[in-house]
Amino acid sequence: MASDGVLLDARGITKVFGGVRAVDDVSLRVQTGTLHALIGPNGAGKTTLFNTLSGYARPERGTVVFRGTDVTRAPNWQRVRMGMGRTFQTPSVFPELTVDENVRLGVRAYAREAFRLRTPRGEAAAAVDRRVDELLGFVGITGSRERSLAVLSAGTQRLCEIAMSLSTDPALVLLDEPMAGLAESETDRIITVIRDLRERLGLTVLFVEHNMRVVLSLADRITVLDRGKLLAEGTPDDIAANPAVRDAYLGEGVLDHV
C-alpha cells in the first residue's frame, strides 16, 4: 500500500515559547500510505510539532509542504480542506451531546461546503445521514450512537473523535496520543481502527504514542524527538536498536519490555 510519494514534508521546523525551543530544527517526511509514529519523552515537542503541521501554531523557522503545496502560513481550515485531519491530546468532543450528534456536527460542517449549490436539500440531508452511518460503522460505535458521550468510556470517546476527524474526508490523519489513559481492551480497538484507516480507507496516519510495544508493532516509520530536537528516524527495527533512543528513554522503562 505504501508508495514513494511524500504526502507531508516538514523541513527545519523551529517553534519557540519564550526562551524554550519546544521544537528545534526538526524535519519530518511522511510517505503516502504509511503509519508513521512520532515518539519522545514528555515535553519533547510532539504536540507542538503537530500544531505547526496542522496550522494551530506558526513556526518561527521552517516550511511545511502538504501534497506538494507550501502550507506553512496557511490557516488550519485551509489544511483541513486540502485533506489533513487531526485529533487532540485532550479530547475535543462535546460530552453533553450524543455520539451521533457529535459526528453529525462534523459531517454537516463539511457537507455544507461539499454539497451546497450542487445537491437538492433532501438529497444533501440523506447524504449526511449516510456519511454519519458510515463513520460510526467504521469505528464500530453505531450501538452507542444515541448515548451522551459523557456517560461512555474513554475508548468510545476516542473512537468518536476519530470518526469526527474523518468527517472532512482527509488523506492524512494526525492522531495525538489516541490511546492515552485507555484500558487494554480499548487500546486494542484503537490499534485495529488505525490499521483499518490505511487498509480499508487508504489513509496515511501520523500518530503520537508512548507505549513502545504498540508503536513498534503498528508503525512503518518512527520519528523520535528529544528536548525539541530530532533524535532518530527509521524503521521499528532501527529505532529499537538505536542507542541514543534507548538513552533518551532511560529511566522511563518504556523499552524494557520490547
Ligand X SMILES: Nc1ncnc2c1ncn2[C@@H]1O[C@H](COP(=O)(O)OP(=O)(O)OP(=O)(O)O)[C@@H](O)[C@H]1O
Strands (E) across the chain are located at 6-17, 20-31, 35-39, 61-66, 69-70, 84-86, 172-176, 204-208, 221-226, 229-234
Select the binding partner of residue 44 from Mg ion, ligand X, none (C-beta < 5 to 8 A, by kind).
ligand X
Q: How many residues bind ligand X (CB under 6 A)?
A: 12
| Residue number, 47 or 72, with CB nearest to Mg ion | 47
Per-residue binding string, ligand X, 84-113, x by CB under 6 A, is -----x------------------------
- Give me the least distance between CB of 79 and Mg ion, in Å please: 19
Contact 156, 95 (CB under 8 A): no
Instruction: Indicate the DSSP class of residue 88.
Output: -
Count Cα atoms within 13 angstroms, Cβ side, for 13. Answer: 34
Select the binding partner of residue 77 from ligand X, Mg ion, none (C-beta < 5 to 8 A, by kind).
none
- Give me the least distance between CB of 4 and ligand X, in Å please: 29
| Residue number, 39 or 203, with CB nearest to ligand X | 39
- Give me the least distance between CB of 55 and ligand X, in Å please: 15
- Give me the least distance between CB of 248 and ligand X, in Å please: 12
Which residue of 6, 14, 16, 20 would you call a contact of ligand X, by CB under 6 A? 20
What is the number of other CB atoms lying within 10 angstroms of the CB of residue 156?
20
Restricting to residues 26-85, which ones interact with ligand X according to CB under 6 A?
Answer: 40, 42-48
**By CB under 6 A, residue 17 contacts ligand X:** yes
- Give me the least distance between CB of 49 and ligand X, in Å please: 7
Q: What is the DSSP secondary-structure string of 48-78?
A: HHHHHHHTSS--SEEEEEETTEE-TT--HHH
* Nine cell digits for residue 256: 524494557
In this chain, which stretch among 6-14, 16-24, 141-149, 238-246 interacts with ligand X, using CB under 6 A? 16-24
* Nine cell digits for residue 139: 469505528
Q: What is the DSSP secondary-structure string of 32-48?
A: TT-EEEEE-STTSSHHH
The one-letter amino acid code at 33 reads G
- Give me the least distance between CB of 40 and ligand X, in Å please: 5
| Residue number, 45 or 236, with CB nearest to ligand X | 45
| Residue number, 155 or 228, with CB nearest to ligand X | 228
Question: Bridge-partner residues for 63, per DSSP?
Answer: 11
What is the number of other CB atoms lying within 10 angstroms of the CB of residue 87?
24
Restricting to residues 139-168, which ones interact with ligand X according to CB under 6 A?
Answer: none
Question: Bridge-partner residues for 39, per DSSP?
Answer: 224
| Residue number, 88 or 138, with CB nearest to ligand X | 88
Binding site for ligand X (CB under 6 A): 17, 20, 22, 40, 42-48, 89
